[in-house]
């Protein structure tokens, strides 16, 4: 992550990224198989209370068998003692693994943000509202079966999480902090006992480098104002350890820098969008997505992340009355 200070991280990637690390008292960073599945880093967090524990963002459908069963045991816990599986939001890499623990821990609760629960419970609903929602700019229909395999069969959500709810894990409590923007219901979770803040994908800086180093997963948000407000709210939290899903844990100084860099990206994307609007002629979602991809180092630049974020900025400018939405005919067709 090019703008992120690296010297002061709590659990920097020294050695094997498959290693289990305790990042605060009773909180463990666990490896996942997402680097092999989707070429992106991803960590699950274990929050313990006595012999019981919760998992935050338990990866995709394959993650339990591929990594988490062994990782939980390496951390010193019996997988059958799992109390609750918590998703920060409804994307497959954060909620797809929730249903894969049914045989080993059948009593474990499934928890997800209220507004993202329909995505967790129905890939078909998520497909319609997210993956297949970029007509004329990006077509992911060829990837549908693969994306579905990351999160099906879907679970039934037992605990619907709302802003400021308290989620009990034994004697430990996580505070729910709504951070809408990346998705419509995205939530972060704060452990006041250790001042550890789990932020999922709310904090993205200028993007997350792919594991092979050939591209960058650009920041993704569906609404500019919501994303900015979520970041500003997280900056007000009294955290000492910041735990994003795709970046190793950060201490307060580096965590605040990462939050600030995320806002810098939003400002830069806004400036690019306004620059395009100031010239003569139509502005297309694809054109802005390309510019955002170039800003982050995304190859190819038109990707789900850049297209979603480009559209969010164009919607923002349309609300200001600077542009209006219109469909353009495909060249060479009526």
Q: Is pLDDT above 70 for 14?
A: no
| Digit-coded pLDDT (tens) for 259-273 | 999 999 999 999 999
DSSP 97-157: TGGGGTTT-TT-EEEEEGGGHHHHH-HHHHIIIIIT--TTT---GGGHHHHHHTT-SPPPP
pLDDT (mean) for 295-318: 98
Mean pLDDT of the chain: 94
Domain map (residue ranges) of the chain: 21-269, 271-319
Q: Which uninterrupted H or E stretch holds 35? A: helix 34-38
Q: Is pLDDT above 60 for 1?
A: no
CA–CA distances in Å: residue 59 to residues 33, 67, 68, 101, 210? 8, 10, 9, 12, 16
Share of the chain above pLDDT 90, in %: 90
Angle between helices 224-235 and 304-319 in degrees, nearest 10: 100
Q: How many CA atoms lie within 13 A of 256 on its CB side?
A: 8
Token pair for 236: 């007000």
| Digit-coded pLDDT (tens) for 311-323 | 999 999 999 999 9
CA 318/CA 174 separation, integer angstroms: 38
Which superfamily is assigned to 21-269 in CATH? Ribonuclease Z/Hydroxyacylglutathione hydrolase-like (3.60.15.10)
Indicate the pTM of the whole model: 0.94
Q: Is pLDDT above 60 for 114?
A: yes
pLDDT at residue 56 in the model: 99
pLDDT (mean) for 219-246: 98
pLDDT at residue 279 in the model: 86
| Digit-coded pLDDT (tens) for 142-154 | 999 999 999 999 9
């Amino acid at each position: 992550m090019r703008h992120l200070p690296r010297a002061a991280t709590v659990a920097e990637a020294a050695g094997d990224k498959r290693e289990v690390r305790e990042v605060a008292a009773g909180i463990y960073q666990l490896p996942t198989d997402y680097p092999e599945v989707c070429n992106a880093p991803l960590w699950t967090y274990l929050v313990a209370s006595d012999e019981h524990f919760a998992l935050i963002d338990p990866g995709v459908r394959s993650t339990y068998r591929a990594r988490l069963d062994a990782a939980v045991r390496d951390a010193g816990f019996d997988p059958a003692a799992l109390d609750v599986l918590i998703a920060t939001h409804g994307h497959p890499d954060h909620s797809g693994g929730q249903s894969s623990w049914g045989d080993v821990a059948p009593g474990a609760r499934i928890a997800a943000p209220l507004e993202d629960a329909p995505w967790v419970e129905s890939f078909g609903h998520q497909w319609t509202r997210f993956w297949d929602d970029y007509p004329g700019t990006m077509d992911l229909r060829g990837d549908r079966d693969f994306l579905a395999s990351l999160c099906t069969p879907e679970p039934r959500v037992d605990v619907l999480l709302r802003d400021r709810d308290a989620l009990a894990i034994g004697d430990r409590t996580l505070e729910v902090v709504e951070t809408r923007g990346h998705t419509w219901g995205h939530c972060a979770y704060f452990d006041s006992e250790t001042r550890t803040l789990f932020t999922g994908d709310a904090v993205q800086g200028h993007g997350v480098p792919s594991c092979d180093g050939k591209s960058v997963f650009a920041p993704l948000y569906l609404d500019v104002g919501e994303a900015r407000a979520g970041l500003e709210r997280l900056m007000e939290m009294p955290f000492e350890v910041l735990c994003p899903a795709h970046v190793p844990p950060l201490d307060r100084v580096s965590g605040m820098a990462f939050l600030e860099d995320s806002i810098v990206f939003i400002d830069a994307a806004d400036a690019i969008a306004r620059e395009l609007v100031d010239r003569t002629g139509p502005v297309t979602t694809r054109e802005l997505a390309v510019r955002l991809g170039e800003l982050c180092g995304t190859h190819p630049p038109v990707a789900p992340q850049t297209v979603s974020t480009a559209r969010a900025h164009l919607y923002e400018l349309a609300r200001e009355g600077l542009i209006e939405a219109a469909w353009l005919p495909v060249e060479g067709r009526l």
